[in-house]
Amino acid sequence: MLREGLDARAAGAKFWGMIDPFGRAISYLRVSVTDRCDFRCVYCMAEDMTFLPKQDLLSLEELYRLCSAFIAKGVRKIRLTGGEPLVRKNILWLIEALSRHLKSGALEELTLTTNGSQLSRFAPQLAALGVRRVNVSVDTLDPDKFAAITRWGKLSPVLEGIAAARAAGLHVKINAVALKGANEDEIPAMLRWAHAHGMDLTLIETMPMGAIEPDRMDQYLPLAHVRAQLAREFTLEDIPDRTGGPARYVRVRETGGRLGFITPLTHNFCESCNRVRITCTGMLYMCLGQDDSADLRAPLRASPDDTLLSAAIDEAIGRKPKGHDFVIERRGARPAVARHMSLTGG
């Protein structure tokens, strides 16, 4: 009955756009369905993480209602993230529910960002439900380095998951965080590997989010430096391609594939930001690199209709900042924002 009510409300919703104070149309929603993960990547979270009590998380029905409210306001693309989204119990229920918006045409794309550990199990079902693309985080192809970077992860299940995703017809993009002294020497090989398998590769600068044991100055590798190094070996041609996110792409002439750069520190991507993020507790963050947020759980639960929820969303979009304030500072400095990436979602 609850599901039928949610679908009826979504089907009858009126569509209109969300425009922030700087004239940017908000059409992309990233939803963290859980803060939990089966890895403990060194740049993302502390090894001894304290996760949210499960009772604090929104139900899958509530997440669906939130997503539907944003779709009614003009969101055309949703990315499910975590933590690791595929460890959320019954996650396929939410994906199946959201796929109805794909079938109606209200939603153009439903994607996931995953560490790949569960892809062998889920890939065929994701494809059957209308997911066409997944981003998989792989920072190294060396099994020992992979174990060191992820702390709890093993490379072989991830590679098997990538193969299963491709076999199911999903387009796979590889995300790799560039880490000084850890994987910088592997980037050319990773580029060749990804492109040989028909996958884009996107390199990401480490972001100062949440307290972790390593000093991020020891991790930070500017992608301007990486690009200069790659240009000695490859011909990099700037192209205007966009996939809805912050990456700037080049075509690698020697491989024919695309290489993306996400540079929150050396060259921020705020001027064209069309994104907002919802946490698994219903907090809306208008900017990944700012602490300002809006509680959507309260209006969501206060009324069975979406009047209060819609007003809360409008008020929050009216506070979306021009850009983030990410800065990597020397030892002893606090991170730019206190929350870990696993809470907000990538």
pLDDT at 338: 53
pLDDT at 241: 85
pLDDT at 335: 45
Rounded to 10 degrees, the C-alpha dihedral 46/246/33/71 comes to 160
- Amino acid identity for residue 268 in this structure: N
pLDDT at 2: 45
pLDDT at 13: 41
Distance CA 90, CA 87 (A): 9
Q: Which residues contact 141 (CB under 8 A, 6 or more apart)?
A: 155, 186, 189, 190, 193
pLDDT at 261: 94
- Amino acid identity for residue 40 in this structure: R
- What is the third-level CATH fold of 17-178+270-344? TIM Barrel (3.20.20)
DSSP 268: -
Distance CA 169, CA 4 (A): 31
Rounded mean pLDDT for each run of 10 residues along the chain, 346 residues in total: 48 63 94 94 83 91 98 97 96 98 97 97 98 97 95 96 98 94 93 98 77 58 93 96 81 97 68 88 88 93 96 95 58 48 56
Distance CA 75, CA 304 (A): 21
Distances in whole angstroms, Cα of residue 290 to Cα of each of 204, 231, 277, 293: 19, 33, 12, 8
- pTM of the entire structure? 0.86
pLDDT at 43: 83
pLDDT at 221: 86
Distance CA 128, CA 132 (A): 9
pLDDT at 170: 98
